[in-house]
Structure 1
């Protein structure tokens, strides 16, 4: 093979189970980021870290909505519906945290994020 030839990559279909585990790991990481902000609530740079954590959270929840819309998360229809409702609810929690930042409002977003991450892991194990 000469250096001028482009390397052909075989298209790889995303395994739905891999997508679920990827989102679960992402949500776990975001929950940890949110918990760090909560633990260090009196830190002088809290606003910066809070904004970054909330942006990461919103991005993750929107990614879940996109995956549902594109059919990547092949879950039972009822579960997809519930997941969509949760993602919209999470978005409202994120907006609440932005508007009225308190450790308590952040706590409810953390709980929701951790619960969904655990649920996705359980779905992966059951698949």
Structure 2
């Protein structure tokens, strides 16, 4: 590819000349400044800057502890039930294996419910689309 140069007023392009910035450069610079302003506004909005950042981190750790404890509780209850059934019925290790897997599934479901990925159990809300159309 050939080296493209922009000619100056005389029609010649000098090897080390600086050119005026393109309109694209001006647009990019304007968008960068707008983005900087938006980021600064979000960082300083809400509560005080440093205190808000610390409480956001504490909220994240709290959510992580809550989700992990729900998962561990599901697995532990499943293993405990399986071990108890094995001791009472003499079916070792099948009760432990089955209930450990069931506890794992229950733990995953509890974590997904707490995170809001799966809907909570209970009565369904009526569908708004079907209410208005009575034929």
Normalised TM-score (structure 1): 0.31
More helix by share: 1
Q: Which structure is higher in RCO with an 8 Å CA cutoff and minimum separation 6?
A: 1
Structure number with greater Rg is 2
Normalised TM-score (structure 2): 0.30
